[in-house]
Amino acid sequence: MSIGENYRRIASQVADCAQEQGRDAGQVCLIAVSKTVDAPVVAQAIAAGAHDFGENRPECLVQKAQAYPDQNWHFIGNIQSRRIGDIVEHACLIHSLFQESHARKISSHAASLGKVQDVLIEVNVSGEESKGGCTPAQAIDLVRCCLELPGVRPRGLMTMAPQGSREEALRTFQGLAQLRDQIRSAMEPDDAAVFNELSMGMSEDWPEAIACGATMVRIGRAIFSEEPLVLK
Protein backbone atom coordinates (compact mmCIF):
# COMPACT_ATOMS: atom_id res chain seq x y z
CA MET A 1 0.00 0.00 0.00
CA SER A 2 1.30 3.43 -0.86
CA ILE A 3 0.91 6.34 1.51
CA GLY A 4 -1.57 7.96 -0.84
CA GLU A 5 -3.67 4.79 -0.87
CA ASN A 6 -3.45 4.52 2.90
CA TYR A 7 -4.62 8.10 3.28
CA ARG A 8 -7.56 7.70 0.90
CA ARG A 9 -8.65 4.47 2.55
CA ILE A 10 -8.57 5.93 6.08
CA ALA A 11 -10.27 9.14 4.95
CA SER A 12 -13.14 7.21 3.44
CA GLN A 13 -13.42 4.93 6.51
CA VAL A 14 -13.48 7.98 8.80
CA ALA A 15 -16.19 9.58 6.66
CA ASP A 16 -18.26 6.36 6.64
CA CYS A 17 -17.88 5.98 10.38
CA ALA A 18 -19.04 9.58 10.97
CA GLN A 19 -22.07 8.97 8.76
CA GLU A 20 -22.92 5.76 10.61
CA GLN A 21 -23.10 7.91 13.73
CA GLY A 22 -25.55 10.22 11.98
CA ARG A 23 -23.01 12.98 11.41
CA ASP A 24 -21.79 14.63 8.22
CA ALA A 25 -18.58 13.20 6.82
CA GLY A 26 -16.98 16.62 7.10
CA GLN A 27 -17.65 16.86 10.82
CA VAL A 28 -14.67 14.69 11.70
CA CYS A 29 -11.30 16.19 10.76
CA LEU A 30 -8.65 13.63 9.84
CA ILE A 31 -5.26 14.81 11.06
CA ALA A 32 -2.42 12.91 9.40
CA VAL A 33 0.28 12.58 12.06
CA SER A 34 3.46 12.90 10.02
CA LYS A 35 5.93 12.83 12.95
CA THR A 36 7.68 9.67 11.75
CA VAL A 37 8.29 10.73 8.14
CA ASP A 38 10.45 13.28 6.36
CA ALA A 39 9.01 16.33 4.68
CA PRO A 40 9.01 14.88 1.11
CA VAL A 41 6.72 12.04 2.22
CA VAL A 42 4.15 14.60 3.36
CA ALA A 43 3.70 15.56 -0.31
CA GLN A 44 2.30 12.08 -1.02
CA ALA A 45 -0.46 12.59 1.54
CA ILE A 46 -1.19 16.08 0.22
CA ALA A 47 -1.53 14.66 -3.29
CA ALA A 48 -4.06 12.17 -1.91
CA GLY A 49 -6.15 14.99 -0.44
CA ALA A 50 -4.75 15.58 3.08
CA HIS A 51 -4.94 19.12 4.48
CA ASP A 52 -4.36 18.66 8.19
CA PHE A 53 -1.12 17.35 9.67
CA GLY A 54 0.06 16.74 13.21
CA GLU A 55 3.60 17.06 14.57
CA ASN A 56 4.86 16.48 18.09
CA ARG A 57 8.27 18.15 17.97
CA PRO A 58 8.61 21.90 17.53
CA GLU A 59 11.58 21.69 15.16
CA CYS A 60 9.71 19.28 12.87
CA LEU A 61 6.59 21.43 13.02
CA VAL A 62 8.59 24.46 11.90
CA GLN A 63 10.42 22.61 9.14
CA LYS A 64 7.35 20.96 7.63
CA ALA A 65 5.07 23.98 8.03
CA GLN A 66 7.67 26.03 6.16
CA ALA A 67 7.88 23.38 3.43
CA TYR A 68 4.07 23.17 3.10
CA PRO A 69 2.65 26.50 4.32
CA ASP A 70 -0.76 25.97 2.69
CA GLN A 71 -1.60 23.01 4.95
CA ASN A 72 -2.99 23.17 8.48
CA TRP A 73 -0.30 22.23 10.99
CA HIS A 74 -1.41 20.95 14.39
CA PHE A 75 0.94 20.74 17.35
CA ILE A 76 0.20 17.58 19.34
CA GLY A 77 3.38 17.11 21.39
CA ASN A 78 4.88 18.01 24.69
CA ILE A 79 5.13 21.80 25.09
CA GLN A 80 8.55 23.05 26.12
CA SER A 81 8.48 26.57 27.42
CA ARG A 82 11.42 27.81 25.34
CA ARG A 83 9.91 26.52 22.07
CA ILE A 84 6.52 28.18 22.51
CA GLY A 85 7.40 31.02 20.10
CA ASP A 86 8.10 28.53 17.29
CA ILE A 87 4.95 26.56 18.02
CA VAL A 88 2.71 29.63 18.04
CA GLU A 89 4.21 30.91 14.82
CA HIS A 90 3.28 27.75 12.91
CA ALA A 91 0.44 25.87 14.62
CA CYS A 92 -3.19 26.38 13.62
CA LEU A 93 -4.17 24.50 16.78
CA ILE A 94 -2.20 23.39 19.85
CA HIS A 95 -3.74 20.14 21.17
CA SER A 96 -1.55 19.61 24.20
CA LEU A 97 -1.90 22.52 26.60
CA PHE A 98 -2.22 21.53 30.24
CA GLN A 99 -0.23 24.10 32.20
CA GLU A 100 -1.26 27.61 33.12
CA SER A 101 2.28 28.98 32.73
CA HIS A 102 2.31 27.73 29.13
CA ALA A 103 -1.08 29.30 28.46
CA ARG A 104 0.28 32.67 29.57
CA LYS A 105 3.37 32.32 27.36
CA ILE A 106 1.31 31.22 24.37
CA SER A 107 -0.92 34.25 24.84
CA SER A 108 1.95 36.71 24.92
CA HIS A 109 3.69 35.19 21.88
CA ALA A 110 0.39 35.12 19.98
CA ALA A 111 -0.32 38.74 20.88
CA SER A 112 3.10 39.78 19.58
CA LEU A 113 2.31 38.03 16.26
CA GLY A 114 -1.12 39.65 16.14
CA LYS A 115 -2.87 36.29 16.33
CA VAL A 116 -5.20 34.52 18.70
CA GLN A 117 -3.96 30.97 19.22
CA ASP A 118 -6.56 28.23 19.23
CA VAL A 119 -5.80 25.61 21.88
CA LEU A 120 -7.19 22.35 23.24
CA ILE A 121 -6.70 21.31 26.83
CA GLU A 122 -5.07 17.89 27.13
CA VAL A 123 -6.80 15.85 29.81
CA ASN A 124 -5.53 12.65 31.37
CA VAL A 125 -8.96 11.04 31.67
CA SER A 126 -7.76 7.53 32.44
CA GLY A 127 -5.34 8.63 35.17
CA GLU A 128 -2.49 6.55 33.73
CA GLU A 129 0.78 7.82 35.13
CA SER A 130 2.61 7.65 31.81
CA LYS A 131 0.16 10.00 30.12
CA GLY A 132 0.44 13.77 29.89
CA GLY A 133 -2.41 16.11 30.57
CA CYS A 134 -4.19 17.60 33.54
CA THR A 135 -6.94 16.11 35.65
CA PRO A 136 -10.55 16.77 34.66
CA ALA A 137 -10.89 19.17 37.62
CA GLN A 138 -7.78 21.12 36.56
CA ALA A 139 -9.12 21.35 33.00
CA ILE A 140 -12.01 23.51 34.16
CA ASP A 141 -9.64 25.94 35.91
CA LEU A 142 -7.32 26.04 32.92
CA VAL A 143 -10.16 26.85 30.53
CA ARG A 144 -11.18 29.65 32.86
CA CYS A 145 -7.59 30.95 32.84
CA CYS A 146 -7.45 30.81 29.02
CA LEU A 147 -10.67 32.78 28.73
CA GLU A 148 -8.98 35.65 30.60
CA LEU A 149 -5.99 35.69 28.24
CA PRO A 150 -6.26 37.85 25.11
CA GLY A 151 -4.03 35.68 22.90
CA VAL A 152 -5.54 32.25 23.58
CA ARG A 153 -8.89 30.81 22.52
CA PRO A 154 -9.90 27.49 24.11
CA ARG A 155 -11.61 25.32 21.47
CA GLY A 156 -12.11 22.03 23.29
CA LEU A 157 -10.33 19.03 24.77
CA MET A 158 -7.83 16.36 23.76
CA THR A 159 -6.94 12.99 25.25
CA MET A 160 -5.09 9.75 24.61
CA ALA A 161 -6.67 6.45 25.62
CA PRO A 162 -4.81 3.60 27.32
CA GLN A 163 -3.76 1.12 24.66
CA GLY A 164 -4.93 -2.44 24.32
CA SER A 165 -8.47 -2.32 25.69
CA ARG A 166 -11.52 -1.29 23.70
CA GLU A 167 -13.58 -0.89 26.85
CA GLU A 168 -11.05 1.40 28.49
CA ALA A 169 -10.71 3.43 25.30
CA LEU A 170 -14.49 3.87 25.17
CA ARG A 171 -14.60 4.87 28.84
CA THR A 172 -11.84 7.41 28.28
CA PHE A 173 -13.49 8.94 25.21
CA GLN A 174 -16.91 9.09 26.86
CA GLY A 175 -15.30 10.77 29.86
CA LEU A 176 -13.75 13.44 27.64
CA ALA A 177 -17.03 14.09 25.84
CA GLN A 178 -18.88 14.49 29.14
CA LEU A 179 -16.23 16.85 30.46
CA ARG A 180 -16.44 18.98 27.31
CA ASP A 181 -20.21 19.28 27.72
CA GLN A 182 -19.88 20.06 31.41
CA ILE A 183 -17.32 22.82 30.82
CA ARG A 184 -19.34 24.18 27.94
CA SER A 185 -22.51 24.45 29.97
CA ALA A 186 -20.68 26.71 32.44
CA MET A 187 -19.41 29.10 29.71
CA GLU A 188 -20.84 32.30 28.31
CA PRO A 189 -22.73 31.56 25.06
CA ASP A 190 -20.08 33.12 22.79
CA ASP A 191 -17.28 31.11 24.39
CA ALA A 192 -19.36 27.93 24.47
CA ALA A 193 -20.15 28.28 20.75
CA VAL A 194 -16.49 27.74 19.82
CA PHE A 195 -15.64 25.25 22.59
CA ASN A 196 -16.74 22.23 20.62
CA GLU A 197 -13.69 20.18 19.62
CA LEU A 198 -12.86 16.69 20.86
CA SER A 199 -9.45 15.57 19.61
CA MET A 200 -9.34 11.84 20.35
CA GLY A 201 -8.61 8.59 18.55
CA MET A 202 -5.39 7.28 16.96
CA SER A 203 -4.60 4.45 14.52
CA GLU A 204 -5.82 1.71 16.86
CA ASP A 205 -8.87 3.31 18.44
CA TRP A 206 -10.29 5.98 16.14
CA PRO A 207 -13.61 4.16 15.43
CA GLU A 208 -14.34 4.12 19.18
CA ALA A 209 -13.44 7.81 19.40
CA ILE A 210 -15.80 8.76 16.57
CA ALA A 211 -18.54 6.70 18.22
CA CYS A 212 -18.04 8.87 21.32
CA GLY A 213 -18.18 12.16 19.38
CA ALA A 214 -14.60 12.88 18.26
CA THR A 215 -14.41 15.93 15.99
CA MET A 216 -10.73 15.30 15.19
CA VAL A 217 -8.84 12.03 14.95
CA ARG A 218 -5.02 11.97 14.94
CA ILE A 219 -3.78 9.11 12.78
CA GLY A 220 -0.12 8.33 12.19
CA ARG A 221 0.90 4.72 11.59
CA ALA A 222 -2.21 3.69 9.67
CA ILE A 223 -1.33 6.33 7.06
CA PHE A 224 2.45 6.60 7.08
CA SER A 225 3.54 3.06 7.80
CA GLU A 226 4.15 0.92 4.72
CA GLU A 227 3.48 -2.18 6.81
CA PRO A 228 -0.19 -2.96 7.20
CA LEU A 229 -1.33 -2.15 10.71
CA VAL A 230 -2.68 -5.20 12.47
CA LEU A 231 -5.52 -4.30 14.80
CA LYS A 232 -5.87 -6.36 17.94
Ligand X SMILES: *Cc1c(COP(=O)(O)O)cnc(C)c1O
CB closer to ligand X, 107 vs 159: 159
For residue 64, what is the enclosing H or E element?
helix 58-67
Query: Other C-beta atoms within 10 Å of 88: how many?
Result: 24
Q: Compute the least distance from the CB of residue 13 to ligand X, in Å.
A: 13
216, with CB counted inside 10 A (0-12, 13-18, 19+), is buried
**Does 221 interact with ligand X (rule: CB under 6 A)?**
yes
**Does 161 interact with ligand X (rule: CB under 6 A)?**
no
**Does 220 interact with ligand X (rule: CB under 6 A)?**
yes
Contact between residue 74 and residue 158 where contact means Cβ atoms under 8 Å apart: no
Q: Compute the least distance from the CB of residue 32 to ligand X, in Å.
A: 9
Measured distance CA(46)–CA(73) in Å, rounded:
12
Query: Which of residues 3, 10, 33, 177 is near ligand X by CB under 6 A?
Result: 33
CB closer to ligand X, 151 vs 220: 220
CB closer to ligand X, 56 vs 107: 56
Query: Which of residues 61, 202, 209, 212 is near ligand X by CB under 6 A?
Result: 202
**Does 76 interact with ligand X (rule: CB under 6 A)?**
yes
**Does 200 interact with ligand X (rule: CB under 6 A)?**
no
Query: Which of residues 34, 44, 56, 71 is near ligand X by CB under 6 A?
Result: 56
**Does 219 interact with ligand X (rule: CB under 6 A)?**
yes
Selected range binding ligand X among 65-73, 172-180, 186-194, 218-226, rule: CB under 6 A: 218-226
**Does 35 interact with ligand X (rule: CB under 6 A)?**
yes
Measured distance CA(70)–CA(75) in Å, rounded:
16
Q: What are phi and psi of 97, to 5 degrees?
A: -85, 125
**Does 126 interact with ligand X (rule: CB under 6 A)?**
no
> DSSP label at 187?
S
Total of residues contacting ligand X (CB under 6 A): 12
**Does 37 interact with ligand X (rule: CB under 6 A)?**
no
Query: Which of residues 6, 71, 203, 215 is near ligand X by CB under 6 A?
Result: 203
The full 3-state SS of 110-174, as one line of letters, equals HHHHCCCEEEEEEECCCCCCCCCCECHHHHHHHHHHHHHCCCEEEEEEECCCCCCCHHHHHHHHH
Q: What are phi and psi of 78, to 5 degrees?
A: -65, 130
Binding footprint of ligand X on the chain (CB under 6 A):
33, 35, 56, 76, 160, 202-203, 218-222
